[in-house]
Amino acid sequence: MPRLSPLVLSLTLSTAAFPAAALDSFRIVAPGASDNLADKLGRASLIKAARDEDRTTPQDLLAAARADYRAYVGALYSEGYYNGTVNILIDGREAADIPPLEPPAQISRIEVRVNPGQTFTFGEARVAPIAPETDLPDGFAPGEPAYSELVSDAGKAAVKGWRAVGFAKADVPQQQVTANHAARRLDVRLGVDPGPRLTFGELRISGNKRVRTERIREIAGLPTGKVFDPDELDLASERLRRAGAFRSVSLSEAEEVAPGNVLPIDAALIEEKRRRLGFGAELSSVDGATLSTYWLHRNLLGGAERLRIDGEIAQIGGDEQPDFTLSARFTRPATFQTDTDLYVLGTLAREREPNYDSDSFTFGGGLTRIVTPELTLEAGALFRTAHIDDAFGERDYTLIAFPITAEYDKRNDELNPTGGYYIDLGVQPLLGLSDTPSGAQITADARAYYGFGKDDRAVVAGRLQFGSLVGPDLNEAPPDYLFYAGGGGSVRGFPYQELGVEVDDETVGGRSFIGASVELRGGITDALGLVGFVDTAYIGANSWIDDEGSWITGAGIGVRYQTGLGPIRFDIATPVSGGDDDISPYQIYIGIGQAF
């Protein structure tokens, strides 16, 4: 009978009826055990797993029962019980006494009897040597409950501490664990061998077929010759994944250390398909349908360069004429610096908005700097020329914009967040070259998410936006740099661009903007959810907020259906305050992804 350690519980996991030829009864009895131990015993049981998977032949059940001794002992150790006992009775016979090659012809009843015994505490809890600033588990100390996982965690923490300062091959070769049953004490001594301090060696690349090896090294940015750092190894992996040219990225440390205490790194890569074609669609009861498509090349010149071409037709069947947009963006990772990407873009657009028409061409480029996984900075220069027709008449303008943005993303999921926050700040100086003064556009977008309830099935989401255009007066400002409110991406319940500034009975955009939204999202099932929301926005004629602007507010409910590409969104909203009296009492919006 295997000897274990203290634990006391009383539990019957289940008693289930099966056909006569199968297992009729299975239960675990552990008098005095805690709920936590009872749960661990149930999850550790291979007999229970076999029964649940309908593997109930005598051979399967006997094999599971014989293996379960170790599983139950491990569960007891994990809770600090080292002198308990386990009996597994198959139709009254101890499973350990039944020869594995001579199973009974039939097994009807299995009963597991666990006597946990008493809990042990740590007497000596020692691990040495440890690197500076090593964080050992809090419970690994004399007098604390001797959970076996703490012993394992202490060894892992010691190895992690040494690896963090360059000792990549640190190990725990000496492990002395003694259970003193009389004193109910567990003495633990772990001896650590840090090994030599290592430096990064060559990045040995395999699996690439079309992406050049030298470009892979540039993108990975592994600091060859520098002291080993596991964070640098993880960062190199993330850079290669971020490039988008690889379906699989695996960086591993070489088994053998090279002369000079150099550690080569092996990169096993699988390339993505070079080309991809995608489509999208959205529907609004007022704005009509929007159809979009894109073509993507992930490795245009053999250095993981990306070229994406997008086309979109909007307002199909809406109140306005359709809009057409054709754009292209070229991105080259690891340009000038490892975490700096170069981009070049161009856009042709025909926009027939409710309050102005615009035919424009934009061309430019810039740099994107990934400072941390959460923080991204971007700066560029864009040449833009356009022909516009608005409340102030027809005119052509030309300018150079210098967009600068900072994005900080701490959301736990980009498409369907249940926690975290997101901040996007932008300033865009504008140098007027023809028929528009110089100035600047300032924008801010902040979002926060708080999940609660089981598995965060309920989420409160909030969004706050701000915008300002300084410099040009309303009659001189490019209308596509002004601000409007209303529509699916702004205030639901109102038509697109419903709110602006009234000028001679016509509407133009404002030079200041505030937007706020609150949503309560609740999961009904794993796939289906309901949403209630309120949106509000302010538009003003001046560059800064004052009492002369106007507000609109809308509210509604929606349905979300989860897919692998993000939730499908269906919202219906109604105006609450502001806006014209003759607008529709409701608006419908259909799309992919959360509203924000």
371 class by beta-carbon count within 10 Å (0-12 exposed, 13-18 middle, 19+ buried): exposed
- pLDDT recorded at residue 18: 36
pLDDT in tens, 406-447: 999 999 998 889 999 999 999 999 999 999 999 999 999 999
pLDDT in tens, 10-21: 333 333 333 434
Buried b or exposed e, range 66-75, using 16+ CB within 10 angstroms: bebbebbbeb
Judged against a pLDDT cut of 60, whether residue 476 lies above it is answered with yes
Buried b or exposed e, range 95-132, using 16+ CB within 10 angstroms: beebeeeebeeebeebbbebbbbebbbbbebebeebbe
DSSP state of 333: S
Specify the CATH number of the domain 366-592.
2.40.160.50
- With residue 454 as reference, give the H or E element that holds it: none
Q: Which two tokens stand for residue 213?
A: 């090896």
Q: Which two tokens stand for residue 530?
A: 């309901």
Helix (H, G, I), strand (E, B) or coil at 47: helix
- Total-model pTM: 0.80
Give, in order, the Cα–Cα distances in Å from 19 to each of 65, 104, 468: 20, 17, 74
User: In this structure, how many other beta carbons lie within 10 angstroms of the beta carbon of residue 177?
Assistant: 13
pLDDT in tens, 522-546: 999 989 999 999 999 999 999 999 8
Taking the C-alpha atoms of residue 283 and residue 556, their distance in angstroms, rounded to an integer, is 17
pLDDT in tens, 43-52: 999 999 999 9
- pLDDT recorded at residue 19: 40
* 199-271 carries CATH number 3.40.50.720: no
Closest by CA position to 464, among listed 534, 415, 517: 517
pLDDT in tens, 59-72: 999 999 999 999 99
Judged against a pLDDT cut of 60, whether residue 5 lies above it is answered with no
pLDDT in tens, 186-242: 999 999 999 999 999 999 999 999 999 999 999 999 999 999 999 999 999 999 999
Helix (H, G, I), strand (E, B) or coil at 107: coil
Region label for 455, one of left (φ > 0), alpha (ψ between -120 and 50) or beta (otherwise): left
pLDDT > 90 in the chain, percent: 84
Pairing of strands 512-523, 262-271: unpaired
- pLDDT recorded at residue 286: 66
Side chain identity at residue 321, one-letter code: Q
- pLDDT recorded at residue 346: 98
Half-sphere exposure of 151 (CA within 13 A, CB side): 25
Architecture in CATH of 121-193: Roll (3.10)
| Angle between helices 230-242 and 148-164 in degrees, nearest 10 | 80
